[in-house]
Amino acid sequence: MTPSLTVTQQQANSTPYGPARLRGALAACLCALALLPPAVLAQSTALTPQLLAQSLENCLRSEVIKPENAARTVAELRVSCTPQPPAVVATPPAPRVVSEDGEVLIEDSPSITPNADMMRTQMAYRDSNDYFFQPYKKNYITFGSLKNEDGSVPFSGETLDIKFELGMQFTLFPEIDTFTALSPLKVGYSQRSWWDIAESSAPFKEHNYNPEIFWDFTEALARPSKRTRLHLFDVAGYEHQSNGLDGLGSRSWDRFYVQREFRLSEMLGWSVKAWRVVNLGDYNLDIEDYLGNVELTTHFEFNNWVGVDVRMLKGHETKKISYQADVILPMSRWVNSRFILSYYEGFGEALVNYNKKSRSVRAGFYFPLGF
Q: Rounded to two decimals, what is the model's pTM?
A: 0.65
- Give percent of the chain with pLDDT exceeding 70: 62
Same domain, 339 and 229: yes
* pLDDT at res. 150: 93
Residue 354 has what pLDDT?
95
Helix (H, G, I), strand (E, B) or coil at 223: coil
Q: Is 188 in the same domain as 112?
A: no
- Whether pLDDT at 280 is above 50: yes
Same domain, 19 and 163: no
Q: 32 versus 212: which is more confidently predicted?
A: 212
Q: How confident is the model at residue 109 (pLDDT cuts 50, 70, 90)?
A: very low
**Residue 211 · residue 237 · CB < 8 Å:** no
Residue 123 has pLDDT above 80, yes or no: no
User: Of the given ranges (48-62, 83-97, 138-152), which has the lowest mean pLDDT?
Assistant: 83-97
Last residue of a domain, one of 71, 103, 124: 124
The answer to the question of residue 70 being in a domain is no
**Are 244 and 110 part of one and the same domain?**
no
For residues 191 and 232, which has the higher predicted lDDT (pLDDT)? 191
Same domain, 140 and 40: no
Instruction: Look at residue 71 and tell me if it is in a domain.
Output: no
Regarding whether 182 and 306 lie in a shared domain, the answer is: yes
Of 62, 97, 124, the one marking the end of a domain is: 124
Q: By mean pLDDT, which of 78-82, 115-119, 247-251, 296-300 is the weakest?
A: 115-119
Residues 108 and 210 in one domain: no
Per-residue pLDDT tens digits for 145-186: 999 999 999 999 999 999 999 999 988 887 766 777 788 899
Q: Please indicate, yes or no, if residue 73 is contained in any of the structural domains.
A: no
pLDDT band at 349 (very low <50, low <70, confident <90, very high): very high
Q: Does any domain span residue 272? A: yes
Torsion of CA 142, 148, 151, 154, to 10 degrees: -60
pLDDT, position 328:
93
- Do residues 174 and 317 share a domain? yes
Output the pLDDT for position 231: 72
Supply the pLDDT for residue 103.
57
60 is a domain residue: no
Mean pLDDT of the chain: 77
Has residue 105 been placed in a domain?
A: yes
Residue 248 lies in a domain: yes
310 contacts 327 by C-beta, under 8 angstroms: no
Provide the pLDDT confidence category of residue 4 given band limits of 50, 70 and 90: very low
Q: 167 and 229 share a domain?
A: yes
Total domain count, the chain: 2
Cβ-based neighbours of 252, under 8 Å, separated by 6 or more: 240, 241, 242, 243, 279, 280, 281, 284, 351
Can you tell me the distance from the alpha carbon of 126 to that of 86, in angstroms, rounded to the nearest whole number? 13
The alpha carbon dihedral of 68, 71, 72, 73 has a sign of: positive
**pLDDT reading at 345 higher than 80:** yes
Measured distance CA(278)–CA(103) in Å, rounded: 80
Query: Structural domain of residue 356, as residue ranges?
Result: 131-366
* pLDDT at site 317: 83
DSSP string for residues in 104-152:
EEE---PPEEE-HHHHHHHHHHHHHH--SSEE-S--EEEEEEEEETTSP
| Residue 68 within any structural domain of the chain | no
**DSSP string for 249-313:** G--EEEEEEEEEEEESSSSEEEEEEEEEEEEE-TT-TTHHHHH-SEEEEEEEEETTTEEEEEEEE
**Mean per-residue pLDDT for 332-340?**
82
* Residue at a domain's end among 124, 154, 177: 124
- 147 and 294 assigned to the same domain: yes
User: Hey, how many other C-beta atoms are within 10 angstroms of the C-beta on 11?
Assistant: 10
User: In which band, very low, low, confident or very high, does the pLDDT at 130 lie, cut at 50, 70 and 90?
Assistant: low
**One domain, residues 116 and 137:** no
Q: Is the pLDDT of residue 19 over 60?
A: no
Q: The domain that contains 193 carries what CATH number? A: 2.40.230.10
Query: Do residues 88 and 174 both lie within one domain?
Result: no
